Amino acid sequence: MDCPSCAAKVERAVEQVTGVTAARVAFSTQRLIISATAELNADNIKATIKDAGFAVVEESKDSKQQESGLNGFLTHNSKLVITAILFSLAMIAGHFNPALKQGLLYAVTIFALIPLAKKAFSLMRNGTPFSIETLMSVAVVGA
């Protein structure tokens, strides 16, 4: 989750699950607290959170030790690194063939838009049609 607004989106999505009376996300600790009337299936809650466009990480002893260094950076930012490399290749290709540059830049833009658009659509399905993800997707398509 990137912001308190994202935490509210998770809360709204989980509150729609049958049996959940209240859901609260502590943004600072990245934890979900659920009040329920009946037995809940944890897999159902996880699926709802994933459908809302967020990842579920279960806390364990091993999860407290995060990867560090270059390997940890690449693991968590692989799409960003790929986008930066493709953008650099497009700019270099532009020195040799301007038409190729335009085509590659369109491809890079679409590649970078896909995860954002997926999250925007999943948020729309869960009752948040006007999110920052939707706004950014519309802006990218318009540009």
SS3 readout for 87-134 = HHHHHHHHCCCHHHHHHHHHHHHHHHHHHHHHHHHHHHHCCCCCCHHH
Please tell me the total number of residues recorded for the chain in this structure.
Answer: 143
Statement: the pTM of the whole predicted model exceeds 0.75: no
Contact status, residue 128 vs residue 9, Cβ threshold 8 Å:
yes
Sequence-distant (6+) residues with CB within 8 A of 45 are 14, 17, 20, 32, 34
- Write out pLDDT tens, residues 104-143: 999 999 999 998 999 888 888 877 788 888 999 999 999 8
Domains and CATH numbers, the chain: 1-58 (3.30.70.100), 68-143 (no CATH)
**Mean pLDDT, each 10-residue run in order, the chain (143 residues):** 77 85 83 82 84 77 58 79 92 91 92 91 83 91 87
